[in-house]
Amino acid sequence: MTGIHITDIESAINHWREKKPSPDGVTLSPEVRALAEVYALMVYHHETLADEFSFPKEALAAWMDWYASTPDTPCIAICSTSQGDAMCKGCGRSFEEVQHWTDMRPAEKRATWRRISLEGTAWRFNRYAERAAERRQTRDA
C-alpha cells in the first residue's frame, strides 16, 4: 500500500513549525495541529503509513505545502535506464518509475524517494553527489 509515511509527516510538522513558529511555545499553528493529530493517531495505532485518500483535508493541505518545498525528482541527469538498466544507476529509480514519474501521485513519489534514500546505492548518494556540491560551492565563491 502506498501512503504517506510517518517520517514525511514529521518533516511536514517541522516545516510548519519553522514557517509559523509558536508565539508562546504552546500554541500550534492550524497546519501543525492538523498534522500532529494524524501523527498522534499513527503513533497510537503503531502505523507507519497513513492512507492518503482518507487524510483529513487540512492535514493534506499542510502536507502538500511541505511536499511542494521538496525536490520533485531524484534525477541527476545520468540515466542508465536509457541504456537498458532495470534500475537507474544515477537516481536509483526503476525503469517504470522513471517512465511514469510525471503521472505518479505525490505519496507515490515520496515512497520512491524513501526507498532510494534508504538504499543509498544510487550515484546521487555517493561521491558523485559530493563532487557536484563541491563544484557548486567553488563556482559560487
% of the chain residues with pLDDT over 90: 75
pLDDT of residue 8: 97
Domain final position from 50, 70, 90: 70
Residue type, 140: D
pLDDT of residue 108: 96
pLDDT in tens, 75-127: 988 889 888 889 999 999 999 999 999 999 999 999 999 999 999 989 888 86
Model confidence band, residue 131 (pLDDT cutoffs 50, 70, 90): low
Terminal C-alpha separation, the chain? 46
**20 and 77 together in one domain:** no
Inform me whether the pLDDT recorded for 132 exceeds 70: no
Residue 4 main-chain phi, psi, to 5 deg: -95, 120
**92 and 134 together in one domain:** yes
**92 and 102 together in one domain:** yes
pLDDT of residue 67: 97
Inform me whether the pLDDT recorded for 38 exceeds 90: yes
The total domain count for the chain is: 2
Q: Is the pTM of this model over 0.85?
A: no
**23 and 3 together in one domain:** yes
Model confidence band, residue 134 (pLDDT cutoffs 50, 70, 90): low
- 3-class SS at 116? helix
Per DSSP, helices labelled H in 1-141 are 6-19, 30-44, 57-68, 95-100, 106-119, 127-140
pLDDT of residue 14: 97
| DSSP code for 53 | T
Full residue range of the structural domain in which residue 52 is found = 1-70
Residue type, 109: K
**114 and 50 together in one domain:** no
Domain final position from 70, 90, 108: 70
Give the residue, 128 or 97, on which the prediction is more confident. 97
The set of cell numbers assigned to 84 is 537498458
Domain final position from 17, 37, 70: 70
**58 and 88 together in one domain:** no
**62 and 76 together in one domain:** no
**79 and 140 together in one domain:** yes
pLDDT in tens, 64-78: 999 999 999 999 888
**58 and 86 together in one domain:** no
Residue type, 57: K
